[in-house]
A = this chain, B = another copy of it.
Amino acid sequence: MPEPTRLVPREAQGGLRDAKRQAILRAAASIFAERGYHNTSVSDVAEALNVSKPFLYYYLKNKEDILFECSRIATEQLHDVLEQVRRTAAPGWEKLRLLFRGYARVMSTDFGICLIRSTTPGSLPADLHERLFSGRRRLNREVERIVAEGIADGSIRSLHPQLATFALFGAFNWISTWYRSDGSMSPDAIADTYLDLFARGMRPEAGPADRA
């Protein structure tokens, strides 16, 4: 029996479904960022989108699922930045600079804010929490490796790679708590100012006498 004629081809339908799901996640992330995850109900998200709760549940299982997906998008964006950086044949410090410039951009989005502010311990069921945090731990290890690379190639001074990595992540993650899109500084400008600070802190000193 031939398949009935579809008004919208199956693939485009899938695309439409994805687009709607994405729109829900964007709206949810924005409300989580504004009011806080624990203060927001699925009804609030439905109301903001002017749709019914059953409509939302067709796309996402529950509130935890929404939070997980929002945070997963941010984590994937961070891993995309990492992938790009790994493909460049630059010294360690330059890789770190490129990475954290992209990192600051993600931290200033609602998805980034979701990842840092809303997925605190206990927000997600153990299995989803673990999936998300294994991604974050992997990112952490990769950055530590880039710092170690930089020390080896001489673009970073001899320092404690793990603590320098924690300091970088702390400074950049914290952007998600105070950044305002209507503020005076762009994510790039914030990143450049931070990276100037960290460059002075982490790069070898100019005078060889100081390195004795």
- Give the docked Cα–Cα distance between A82 and B122 (Å): 32
- Give the docked Cα–Cα distance between A196 and B201 (Å): 8
A169 contacts B174, CB within 8 Å?
yes
Contact of A172 among B35, B170, B185 (CB under 8 A): B170
Within residues 20 to 54 of chain A, which ones have a CB less than 8 A from any CB in chain B?
Answer: 35-40
The digit string for A155-196, where 1 denotes a CB below 8 A from any CB of B, is 000011001101111111111001000000100001001101
Chain A binding surface SS class: helix
- The complex is assembled from copies of this chain, and their number is 2
- Give the docked Cα–Cα distance between A185 and B207 (Å): 31
B121 contacts A120, CB within 8 Å?
no
B166 contacts A170, CB within 8 Å?
no
Q: Give chain B residues whose Cβ lies under 8 Å from the Cβ of A117.
A: 120-121
B166 contacts A174, CB within 8 Å?
yes
A197, CB-defined interface residue at 8 Å = yes
A127, CB-defined interface residue at 8 Å = no
Q: Taking the nearest CB of chain B, how far is it from the CB of A177, in angstroms?
A: 8
B120 contacts A36, CB within 8 Å?
yes
Contact of A122 among B40, B173, B178, B206 (CB under 8 A): B40
A197 contacts B37, CB within 8 Å?
no
- Give the docked Cα–Cα distance between A168 and B168 (Å): 10
- Give the docked Cα–Cα distance between A207 and B117 (Å): 42
| A198 nearest in chain B by CB position | B201
A200, CB-defined interface residue at 8 Å = yes
For the A-B complex with A37-B122, A170-B173, A207-B207 known, give 9 more contacts whose Cβ atoms are closer than 8 Å.
A38-B38, A38-B120, A38-B123, A118-B120, A166-B171, A166-B174, A166-B178, A197-B198, A198-B201
